[in-house]
Chain A
Amino acid sequence: MFRYLKLYFHFFRNCLVRELEFRFNAFLLSLVHIFWLGVMLGSVTLIFGQVDSLAGWRKEEVLILAVVGMLFHDITEMFFIGGLQRFSYFIRHGEFDFILLKPVNSRFMTSFRYAEFQNIFRIIIMIFVLASFLRGAGISPSIYEWAGFSAFFLAGLIVFYNIFFMVITTNFWLINVFNFNDIFDRFLSAGRYPVDIFKGRLKPFFAYVIPLGLIGTFAVEIFLGRARLVSFWIAILMVVVTSLLSELFWRFALKHYQSASS
Chain B
Amino acid sequence: MIRKYLAFFKNQFSATIYYRGSILVWIFSNLVFLTVIVSVWLSANSSQSLGGYSTSELIGYYLAGFFLHWVVNWLPFYSTADEIKSGEIIASSLTKPFSFYWRKFSEEAGWHSFAVILGMTLTLVLAVILQQQQLIAFGFSWDNLLLAIAAIVLAIFLVFGFSLCLGLLAFWFTEVWTVDTLFWAGRNFLGGWYLPISFFPGAFQTMIRILPFRYLFSFPLEIFLGKLSLTEIVFGMAISLFWILFFSLLYKVMWERGRKAYTAFGQ
Contacts and interface: CB of A to CB of B under 8 A. Distances in A.
A132 interface: no
Interface string A26-37: 001100110110
Interface stretch (A158-166, A195-203, A215-223, A241-249): A195-203
Interface stretch (A144-152, A180-188, A252-260): A180-188
Interface stretch (B46-54, B89-97, B257-265): B46-54
Interface centre among B18, B178, B185, B194 (most CB of A within 10 A): B178
Contact of B189 (A29, A39, A187, A198): A39
B181 A46 contact: no
A55 B36 contact: no
B25 interface: yes
Interface size on B, as a range, is: 35 or more
B40 to A, nearest CB: 6
A140 interface: no
Interface residues of A, number: 40
A31 B49 CA distance: 35
Contacts of A202: 35, 39
Task: Tell me if A's interface is mostly helix, strand, loop or mixed.
Answer: helix
A185 B185 CA distance: 15
A189 interface: yes
Interface stretch (B26-34, B147-155, B219-227, B245-253): B26-34
Given A183-B32, A185-B29, A43 B44 contact: no
Contacts of B19: 176-178
B200 interface: yes
Contacts of A36: 181, 185
A202 B29 CA distance: 16
Nearest to B198: A50
B22 A190 contact: no
Given A177-B22, A196-B43, 14 more contacts: A29-B181, A50-B44, A50-B46, A50-B48, A54-B44, A54-B45, A176-B21, A183-B28, A186-B33, A187-B32, A190-B32, A193-B39, A197-B43, A198-B39
Given A25-B175, A28-B178, A52-B45, A180 B40 contact: no
Interface in B195-221: 195, 199-201
6 contacts: A29-B181, A52-B45, A176-B22, A177-B22, A178-B22, A186-B33
B2 interface: no
A186 B37 CA distance: 11
Interface in B155-196: 175, 177-178, 181-182, 185, 188-189, 194-195
A52 B46 CA distance: 5
